[in-house]
Structure 1
Amino acid sequence: MARVPYVESEGVPEQHRDLLVSSLQDRPLHVYRALGNNPEVLAGLRGFLSSLWSDSGLTDRRRELVILAVTREIENEYEFHQHVTIARDVGIDDGAIAAVSRGEFDDLDEEEAVLLRYALAVVRGAVEDRDHDAVTVYYDESAVVGIAALAEGYTALGGIIDALGVELEEAFVGWDPTVE
Protein backbone atom coordinates (compact mmCIF):
# COMPACT_ATOMS: atom_id res chain seq x y z
CA MET A 1 0.00 0.00 0.00
CA ALA A 2 1.28 3.44 -0.89
CA ARG A 3 2.53 5.48 2.06
CA VAL A 4 1.34 8.74 0.52
CA PRO A 5 -1.89 9.38 -1.38
CA TYR A 6 -1.95 9.39 -5.16
CA VAL A 7 -2.97 12.95 -5.89
CA GLU A 8 -5.55 13.88 -8.50
CA SER A 9 -4.86 16.66 -10.96
CA GLU A 10 -7.02 19.08 -8.95
CA GLY A 11 -4.61 18.56 -6.04
CA VAL A 12 -1.61 20.12 -7.77
CA PRO A 13 -1.07 23.61 -9.19
CA GLU A 14 -2.30 23.96 -12.75
CA GLN A 15 1.21 24.40 -14.18
CA HIS A 16 2.18 20.94 -12.86
CA ARG A 17 -0.92 18.93 -13.74
CA ASP A 18 0.47 17.61 -17.00
CA LEU A 19 3.41 16.12 -15.06
CA LEU A 20 1.10 13.53 -13.51
CA VAL A 21 0.61 11.98 -16.95
CA SER A 22 3.17 9.73 -18.64
CA SER A 23 4.11 11.17 -22.02
CA LEU A 24 4.69 7.64 -23.32
CA GLN A 25 1.60 5.97 -21.87
CA ASP A 26 -0.72 8.98 -22.03
CA ARG A 27 -2.16 8.25 -18.59
CA PRO A 28 -1.42 9.26 -15.01
CA LEU A 29 1.08 6.96 -13.32
CA HIS A 30 1.18 6.18 -9.61
CA VAL A 31 4.80 7.29 -9.35
CA TYR A 32 3.96 10.78 -10.61
CA ARG A 33 0.76 10.96 -8.57
CA ALA A 34 2.72 10.05 -5.42
CA LEU A 35 5.39 12.64 -6.21
CA GLY A 36 2.58 15.12 -6.87
CA ASN A 37 2.29 15.53 -3.10
CA ASN A 38 5.26 17.88 -3.61
CA PRO A 39 4.67 19.47 -7.04
CA GLU A 40 8.02 21.27 -7.12
CA VAL A 41 9.91 18.02 -6.50
CA LEU A 42 7.75 16.33 -9.14
CA ALA A 43 8.65 19.07 -11.63
CA GLY A 44 12.34 18.92 -10.80
CA LEU A 45 12.50 15.15 -10.95
CA ARG A 46 10.59 14.98 -14.23
CA GLY A 47 12.97 17.56 -15.70
CA PHE A 48 15.99 15.59 -14.50
CA LEU A 49 14.66 12.29 -15.83
CA SER A 50 13.77 13.92 -19.15
CA SER A 51 17.33 15.18 -19.44
CA LEU A 52 18.68 11.71 -18.71
CA TRP A 53 16.49 10.32 -21.48
CA SER A 54 17.41 12.86 -24.11
CA ASP A 55 20.93 13.87 -23.12
CA SER A 56 22.64 10.71 -21.86
CA GLY A 57 24.38 10.15 -25.19
CA LEU A 58 22.80 6.72 -25.65
CA THR A 59 20.47 5.34 -28.28
CA ASP A 60 16.96 4.50 -27.12
CA ARG A 61 17.85 0.80 -27.07
CA ARG A 62 20.98 1.28 -24.97
CA ARG A 63 19.24 3.68 -22.60
CA GLU A 64 16.54 1.09 -21.96
CA LEU A 65 19.08 -1.69 -21.47
CA VAL A 66 20.79 0.42 -18.80
CA ILE A 67 17.50 1.22 -17.07
CA LEU A 68 16.46 -2.44 -17.08
CA ALA A 69 19.82 -3.56 -15.69
CA VAL A 70 19.80 -0.88 -13.00
CA THR A 71 16.20 -1.39 -11.90
CA ARG A 72 16.77 -5.15 -11.74
CA GLU A 73 19.95 -4.63 -9.72
CA ILE A 74 18.08 -2.53 -7.16
CA GLU A 75 15.08 -4.89 -7.37
CA ASN A 76 12.62 -2.12 -8.18
CA GLU A 77 9.65 -3.89 -9.72
CA TYR A 78 7.81 -0.65 -10.52
CA GLU A 79 10.44 0.85 -12.81
CA PHE A 80 11.51 -2.50 -14.28
CA HIS A 81 7.89 -3.17 -15.21
CA GLN A 82 7.41 0.27 -16.78
CA HIS A 83 10.59 -0.06 -18.80
CA VAL A 84 9.85 -3.55 -20.11
CA THR A 85 7.06 -1.94 -22.12
CA ILE A 86 9.32 0.88 -23.28
CA ALA A 87 12.12 -1.57 -24.13
CA ARG A 88 9.75 -3.60 -26.26
CA ASP A 89 8.66 -0.40 -28.01
CA VAL A 90 12.27 0.34 -28.99
CA GLY A 91 12.81 -3.18 -30.35
CA ILE A 92 14.29 -5.09 -27.42
CA ASP A 93 12.84 -8.60 -27.36
CA ASP A 94 11.78 -10.49 -24.25
CA GLY A 95 14.74 -12.86 -24.51
CA ALA A 96 17.18 -9.94 -24.25
CA ILE A 97 15.14 -8.40 -21.41
CA ALA A 98 15.27 -11.71 -19.50
CA ALA A 99 19.02 -12.05 -20.10
CA VAL A 100 19.67 -8.52 -18.83
CA SER A 101 17.51 -9.28 -15.81
CA ARG A 102 19.70 -12.32 -15.07
CA GLY A 103 22.87 -10.28 -15.56
CA GLU A 104 23.81 -12.32 -18.62
CA PHE A 105 25.22 -10.04 -21.29
CA ASP A 106 26.86 -12.61 -23.60
CA ASP A 107 24.14 -12.34 -26.24
CA LEU A 108 24.52 -8.56 -26.44
CA ASP A 109 27.15 -6.93 -28.58
CA GLU A 110 30.44 -6.06 -26.88
CA GLU A 111 29.58 -2.35 -26.59
CA GLU A 112 26.29 -3.12 -24.83
CA ALA A 113 27.94 -5.62 -22.48
CA VAL A 114 30.62 -3.07 -21.52
CA LEU A 115 27.94 -0.41 -21.08
CA LEU A 116 25.86 -2.57 -18.73
CA ARG A 117 28.87 -3.72 -16.70
CA TYR A 118 29.84 -0.06 -16.29
CA ALA A 119 26.31 1.01 -15.29
CA LEU A 120 26.11 -1.76 -12.70
CA ALA A 121 29.53 -0.80 -11.33
CA VAL A 122 28.19 2.76 -10.93
CA VAL A 123 25.13 1.53 -9.04
CA ARG A 124 27.26 -0.70 -6.82
CA GLY A 125 29.64 2.16 -6.06
CA ALA A 126 32.46 0.05 -7.44
CA VAL A 127 33.71 1.77 -10.61
CA GLU A 128 37.38 1.01 -11.10
CA ASP A 129 39.76 2.45 -13.66
CA ARG A 130 39.38 -0.66 -15.83
CA ASP A 131 35.57 -0.12 -15.94
CA HIS A 132 36.02 3.51 -16.90
CA ASP A 133 38.67 2.68 -19.49
CA ALA A 134 36.46 -0.01 -21.03
CA VAL A 135 33.45 2.28 -21.43
CA THR A 136 35.54 5.11 -22.88
CA VAL A 137 36.47 2.85 -25.80
CA TYR A 138 32.87 3.35 -26.97
CA TYR A 139 31.75 6.63 -25.37
CA ASP A 140 33.21 10.11 -24.98
CA GLU A 141 33.34 12.00 -21.68
CA SER A 142 29.93 13.59 -22.20
CA ALA A 143 28.26 10.21 -22.68
CA VAL A 144 30.14 8.66 -19.73
CA VAL A 145 28.72 11.42 -17.52
CA GLY A 146 25.28 10.75 -19.02
CA ILE A 147 25.57 7.00 -18.40
CA ALA A 148 26.63 7.46 -14.77
CA ALA A 149 23.83 9.99 -14.23
CA LEU A 150 21.29 7.67 -15.88
CA ALA A 151 22.31 4.76 -13.67
CA GLU A 152 22.26 6.81 -10.48
CA GLY A 153 19.12 8.72 -11.49
CA TYR A 154 17.14 5.50 -11.76
CA THR A 155 18.72 4.22 -8.56
CA ALA A 156 17.46 7.35 -6.79
CA LEU A 157 14.04 7.08 -8.39
CA GLY A 158 13.81 3.45 -7.29
CA GLY A 159 14.67 4.46 -3.74
CA ILE A 160 11.95 7.11 -3.75
CA ILE A 161 9.41 4.62 -5.12
CA ASP A 162 10.34 2.11 -2.42
CA ALA A 163 10.21 4.71 0.36
CA LEU A 164 6.77 5.89 -0.72
CA GLY A 165 5.46 2.37 -1.32
CA VAL A 166 4.33 3.20 -4.86
CA GLU A 167 2.29 0.34 -6.32
CA LEU A 168 2.13 -0.88 -9.90
CA GLU A 169 -0.92 0.07 -11.91
CA GLU A 170 -1.27 -3.54 -13.11
CA ALA A 171 0.27 -6.95 -12.37
CA PHE A 172 4.07 -7.13 -12.46
CA VAL A 173 5.39 -8.51 -15.74
CA GLY A 174 8.04 -10.43 -13.79
CA TRP A 175 11.80 -10.32 -13.85
CA ASP A 176 11.67 -12.73 -16.77
CA PRO A 177 8.94 -11.71 -19.21
CA THR A 178 9.43 -14.92 -21.19
CA VAL A 179 7.81 -16.88 -18.33
CA GLU A 180 4.05 -16.63 -18.02
Structure 2
Amino acid sequence: MARVPYVDESALPTEHQDLLVSALQGKELNIYRAIGNNPDALYGLRTFLGALWRDSGLDPEQRELVILAVTCEIDSAYEFHQHVAIARDVGVSDSDILALAGGDFDHFDRGDRRLIEYAVAVVRGTVDDDYHDALAASYGPETIVGVASLAGGYLLVGRLLAALDVETETPFVGWRLEGEE
Protein backbone atom coordinates (compact mmCIF):
# COMPACT_ATOMS: atom_id res chain seq x y z
CA MET A 1 0.00 0.00 0.00
CA ALA A 2 1.32 3.41 -0.93
CA ARG A 3 2.51 5.64 1.90
CA VAL A 4 0.28 8.48 0.70
CA PRO A 5 -3.31 8.27 -0.51
CA TYR A 6 -4.05 8.00 -4.21
CA VAL A 7 -6.03 11.12 -5.06
CA ASP A 8 -8.73 11.38 -7.67
CA GLU A 9 -9.35 14.32 -9.95
CA SER A 10 -11.82 15.94 -7.56
CA ALA A 11 -8.93 16.55 -5.14
CA LEU A 12 -7.03 18.58 -7.73
CA PRO A 13 -7.52 22.11 -9.01
CA THR A 14 -9.40 22.10 -12.30
CA GLU A 15 -6.30 23.05 -14.28
CA HIS A 16 -4.41 19.98 -12.98
CA GLN A 17 -7.11 17.30 -13.18
CA ASP A 18 -5.95 15.99 -16.56
CA LEU A 19 -2.47 15.33 -15.12
CA LEU A 20 -3.61 12.08 -13.48
CA VAL A 21 -4.15 10.46 -16.87
CA SER A 22 -1.30 8.96 -18.89
CA ALA A 23 -1.16 10.41 -22.39
CA LEU A 24 0.02 7.02 -23.66
CA GLN A 25 -2.33 4.73 -21.78
CA GLY A 26 -5.36 7.00 -21.47
CA LYS A 27 -5.96 6.04 -17.85
CA GLU A 28 -5.07 7.32 -14.40
CA LEU A 29 -1.76 6.01 -13.10
CA ASN A 30 -0.82 5.46 -9.48
CA ILE A 31 2.37 7.48 -9.86
CA TYR A 32 0.34 10.57 -10.75
CA ARG A 33 -2.36 9.84 -8.21
CA ALA A 34 0.26 9.64 -5.45
CA ILE A 35 2.16 12.75 -6.52
CA GLY A 36 -1.21 14.48 -6.95
CA ASN A 37 -1.20 15.02 -3.19
CA ASN A 38 0.89 18.05 -4.18
CA PRO A 39 -0.73 19.31 -7.41
CA ASP A 40 2.02 21.83 -8.17
CA ALA A 41 4.70 19.15 -7.80
CA LEU A 42 2.66 16.89 -10.10
CA TYR A 43 2.46 19.66 -12.70
CA GLY A 44 6.18 20.37 -12.45
CA LEU A 45 7.16 16.72 -12.64
CA ARG A 46 4.89 15.98 -15.59
CA THR A 47 6.23 19.04 -17.44
CA PHE A 48 9.86 18.16 -16.65
CA LEU A 49 9.61 14.48 -17.52
CA GLY A 50 7.58 15.18 -20.64
CA ALA A 51 10.32 17.47 -21.92
CA LEU A 52 13.02 14.89 -21.15
CA TRP A 53 10.98 12.13 -22.77
CA ARG A 54 10.27 14.12 -25.95
CA ASP A 55 13.48 16.12 -26.28
CA SER A 56 16.33 13.82 -25.25
CA GLY A 57 17.73 13.71 -28.79
CA LEU A 58 17.23 9.94 -28.88
CA ASP A 59 14.92 7.99 -31.12
CA PRO A 60 12.05 6.26 -29.26
CA GLU A 61 13.79 2.87 -29.13
CA GLN A 62 17.02 4.34 -27.75
CA ARG A 63 15.03 6.40 -25.24
CA GLU A 64 13.30 3.31 -23.92
CA LEU A 65 16.57 1.35 -23.72
CA VAL A 66 18.02 4.13 -21.57
CA ILE A 67 14.93 4.32 -19.35
CA LEU A 68 14.79 0.55 -18.89
CA ALA A 69 18.52 0.44 -18.09
CA VAL A 70 17.99 3.08 -15.39
CA THR A 71 14.95 1.33 -13.95
CA CYS A 72 16.87 -1.94 -13.74
CA GLU A 73 19.90 -0.29 -12.16
CA ILE A 74 17.81 1.31 -9.40
CA ASP A 75 15.44 -1.63 -9.03
CA SER A 76 12.34 0.43 -9.84
CA ALA A 77 9.72 -2.21 -10.51
CA TYR A 78 7.00 0.39 -11.16
CA GLU A 79 8.89 2.22 -13.91
CA PHE A 80 10.23 -1.03 -15.40
CA HIS A 81 6.67 -2.36 -15.53
CA GLN A 82 5.36 0.79 -17.24
CA HIS A 83 8.20 1.04 -19.74
CA VAL A 84 8.20 -2.61 -20.84
CA ALA A 85 4.92 -1.94 -22.65
CA ILE A 86 6.12 1.40 -24.03
CA ALA A 87 9.40 -0.15 -25.18
CA ARG A 88 7.60 -2.96 -26.96
CA ASP A 89 5.33 -0.44 -28.68
CA VAL A 90 8.36 1.36 -30.16
CA GLY A 91 10.10 -1.81 -31.31
CA VAL A 92 12.30 -2.94 -28.41
CA SER A 93 12.39 -6.73 -28.39
CA ASP A 94 11.85 -8.94 -25.36
CA SER A 95 15.41 -10.21 -25.80
CA ASP A 96 16.65 -6.61 -25.43
CA ILE A 97 14.46 -6.08 -22.35
CA LEU A 98 15.72 -9.31 -20.80
CA ALA A 99 19.34 -8.37 -21.58
CA LEU A 100 18.88 -5.06 -19.75
CA ALA A 101 17.22 -6.77 -16.80
CA GLY A 102 20.14 -9.19 -16.64
CA GLY A 103 22.80 -6.49 -17.01
CA ASP A 104 24.01 -7.98 -20.31
CA PHE A 105 25.04 -4.82 -22.15
CA ASP A 106 27.21 -6.81 -24.59
CA HIS A 107 23.92 -7.94 -26.14
CA PHE A 108 23.61 -4.50 -27.77
CA ASP A 109 25.39 -2.96 -30.72
CA ARG A 110 28.16 -0.52 -29.95
CA GLY A 111 26.04 2.65 -30.22
CA ASP A 112 23.21 1.44 -28.02
CA ARG A 113 25.66 -0.12 -25.56
CA ARG A 114 27.41 3.23 -25.15
CA LEU A 115 24.11 4.96 -24.44
CA ILE A 116 23.14 2.30 -21.90
CA GLU A 117 26.53 2.25 -20.17
CA TYR A 118 26.59 6.04 -19.97
CA ALA A 119 23.08 6.17 -18.50
CA VAL A 120 24.01 3.58 -15.87
CA ALA A 121 27.17 5.54 -15.06
CA VAL A 122 25.02 8.66 -14.56
CA VAL A 123 22.88 6.75 -12.06
CA ARG A 124 25.94 5.39 -10.26
CA GLY A 125 27.64 8.76 -10.24
CA THR A 126 30.65 7.32 -12.07
CA VAL A 127 30.71 9.27 -15.34
CA ASP A 128 34.34 10.09 -16.08
CA ASP A 129 36.25 11.22 -19.15
CA ASP A 130 36.34 7.66 -20.53
CA TYR A 131 32.55 7.30 -20.44
CA HIS A 132 32.09 10.77 -21.86
CA ASP A 133 34.64 10.30 -24.64
CA ALA A 134 33.18 6.92 -25.61
CA LEU A 135 29.72 8.44 -25.96
CA ALA A 136 31.05 11.58 -27.66
CA ALA A 137 32.69 9.40 -30.32
CA SER A 138 29.21 8.54 -31.61
CA TYR A 139 26.92 11.34 -30.38
CA GLY A 140 26.99 15.10 -30.14
CA PRO A 141 26.60 17.35 -27.09
CA GLU A 142 22.80 17.60 -27.48
CA THR A 143 22.40 13.83 -27.18
CA ILE A 144 24.94 13.56 -24.36
CA VAL A 145 23.00 16.13 -22.35
CA GLY A 146 19.75 14.39 -23.30
CA VAL A 147 20.96 10.97 -22.10
CA ALA A 148 22.32 12.40 -18.85
CA SER A 149 19.09 14.31 -18.27
CA LEU A 150 16.88 11.33 -19.08
CA ALA A 151 18.90 9.05 -16.79
CA GLY A 152 18.86 11.63 -13.99
CA GLY A 153 15.15 12.27 -14.43
CA TYR A 154 14.23 8.60 -14.19
CA LEU A 155 16.58 8.17 -11.23
CA LEU A 156 14.55 10.92 -9.53
CA VAL A 157 11.26 9.23 -10.45
CA GLY A 158 12.46 5.85 -9.20
CA ARG A 159 13.54 7.29 -5.86
CA LEU A 160 10.24 9.17 -5.52
CA LEU A 161 8.26 6.01 -6.25
CA ALA A 162 10.30 4.08 -3.69
CA ALA A 163 9.83 6.78 -1.04
CA LEU A 164 6.06 6.79 -1.57
CA ASP A 165 5.91 2.99 -2.08
CA VAL A 166 3.72 3.37 -5.18
CA GLU A 167 2.47 0.06 -6.53
CA THR A 168 1.79 -0.98 -10.11
CA GLU A 169 -1.80 -0.78 -11.34
CA THR A 170 -1.68 -4.36 -12.62
CA PRO A 171 0.45 -7.30 -11.44
CA PHE A 172 4.16 -6.63 -11.94
CA VAL A 173 5.41 -7.96 -15.27
CA GLY A 174 8.52 -9.32 -13.51
CA TRP A 175 12.18 -8.61 -14.11
CA ARG A 176 12.35 -11.68 -16.34
CA LEU A 177 8.92 -10.99 -17.88
CA GLU A 178 7.65 -14.02 -15.99
CA GLY A 179 4.57 -12.24 -14.66
CA GLU A 180 2.88 -12.16 -18.05
CA GLU A 181 0.19 -14.47 -19.21
Equivalent residues of 2:6, 2:36 under 8 A apart: yes
What residue identity is the alignment partner of 2:4?
V
CA distance in 2, matches of 1:59, 1:178: 28
Is residue 172–residue 179 contact of structure 2 (8 Å, CA) maintained in 1? no
In 2: Cα distance, 1:147 partner to 1:15 partner: 31
Whether the 8 Å CA contact 1:7–1:34 is kept in 2: the answer is yes
CA distance in 2, matches of 1:55, 1:169: 27
SS of equivalent to 1:106: helix
Asked if structure 1 preserves the Cα contact closer than 8 Å seen for 2:7 and 2:34, the reply is yes
Deviations 1:18-39 (A, max 9, x none): 1100000000000000010001
Deviation readout 1:136-176 (Å, 9 max, x if unpaired): 11211111111101001000000100101101101111111
| Shift of residue 107, structure 1, vs aligned partner | 2.5
Distance 1:45 1:118 in 2: 23
Q: Does 1:75 align with 2:36?
A: no
Give the 5 Å matches for 1:24-43. 24-43=24-43
Alpha-carbon deviations, 1:72-102, whole Å to 9, x = none?
A: 1000000000000000000111111000111
Equivalents in 2 of 1:16, 1:52: separation in Å? Answer: 20
TM-score, structure 2 as length reference: 0.97
TM-score normalised over the length of structure 1:
0.97
Cα separation, 1, equivalents of 2:168 and 2:26:
16
Aligned: 1:90 with 2:90? yes
Query: Where do 4+ consecutive residues of structure 1 move more than 2 Å?
Result: none
* 1:115 alignment counterpart: 115
- Structure 2 distance, partners of 1:136, 1:47, is 28
- Where 1:126 maps in the other structure, the secondary structure is coil
Look up the equivalent residue of 1:104 and give its one-letter code.
D
Which residue in 2 is equivalent to 1:176? 176
> How many residues end up aligned between the 2 structures?
180
Q: CA offsets per residue over residues 11-66 of structure 1, 9 Å max, x none?
A: 00010011100000000000000010001000000001001111110000000000
Aligned to 2:22: 22
Instruction: Give the match for residue 52 of structure 1.
Output: 52
Percent identical = 55
Where in structure 1 are there 5+ consecutive unaligned residues? none
Q: Is the 8 A contact 1:94 1:178 kept in 2?
A: no
Q: Compute the displacement of 1:178 (Å).
A: 6.0
Aligned letter for 1:146?
Answer: G
Q: Which residue of 1 is the match for residue 9 of structure 2? A: 9
RMSD of aligned Cα (Å)? 1.0
**52 and 63 in structure 1: CA distance in 2 versus 1, 3 angstrom threshold:** same
3-state SS of paired residue (2:92): coil
AA matched with 1:34: A
Partner SS state of residue 48, structure 2: helix
Report the secondary structure of 1:5's partner residue. Answer: coil
